[in-house]
Amino acid sequence: MELLERFAAGDLDAFEVLFRQHQKEVYAWIVRIVRDTGIAEDLTVETFWRIYKHRVRFKPDGNFRAWARRIATNAALDHLRHARQEVTLPENLPCAASPDGAVTRETRDSIHRAFRELPAKYRLVATLALVEEESYNNIAEAAGISESLVKVRVFRAVRMLRKKLNSLRTEVTAK
């Protein structure tokens, strides 16, 4: 029996083989969305737990990698939805170097604040498309939406970010 067939039938050894084959890739995808290595590890385990839980829905002749990525994206999106109000950004968040540190920090803080306030589904596509430069096609496949909807969400996310940034700049200037 093939590995995927054994997995779909509930064979734990087959699941372990698949886990070890795909854990790095699933983790790498999730960390690009949630931007926190510890949370990404937990979500990788959560993703594989969902995969095992719903194994009967998987067709052994299907694409396991794409299926896992879709589930990983949903797990990351669920996290963004729940963590939106609670997450505080770490002080040592990686930031591009610039000759004028003060201006960069202020701009960076404004962008982070604006970014954090984006609704989860817009933050997901904005992170992947604008920061990680992932193709619209890959994002669409992972999120289970059409490519045109990804474009619409990126456009709306950019519009929201601009609006938020402008109001944040106005606040800073007023101070």
Which residues of this protein are in contact with another protein, per CB under 8 A?
A: 16, 19-20, 23-24, 27-28, 31-32, 35, 37, 41, 44-46, 48-49, 52-53, 93-96, 98, 104, 107-108, 111-112, 115, 126, 130-133, 154-155, 158-159, 161-162, 165
157 burial type by CB count under 10 A (0-12 exposed, 13-18 middle, 19+ buried) = buried
Q: How far is the CB of 26 from another protein (least distance, A)?
A: 9
Q: How far is the CB of 162 from another protein (least distance, A)?
A: 7
Q: How far is the CB of 145 from another protein (least distance, A)?
A: 18
Judged by beta carbon, residue 89 or residue 145, the one nearer another protein is 89
Judged by beta carbon, residue 61 or residue 139, the one nearer another protein is 139
DSSP-derived 3-state class of residue 166: helix
Q: Which whole-number Å values give the CA distances from 134 to 70, 137, 138, 148, 150, in the listed order?
A: 15, 8, 7, 15, 11
The amino acid at residue 18 is L
Q: Which whole-number Å values give the CA distances from 91 to 88, 106, 107, in the listed order?
A: 9, 13, 14
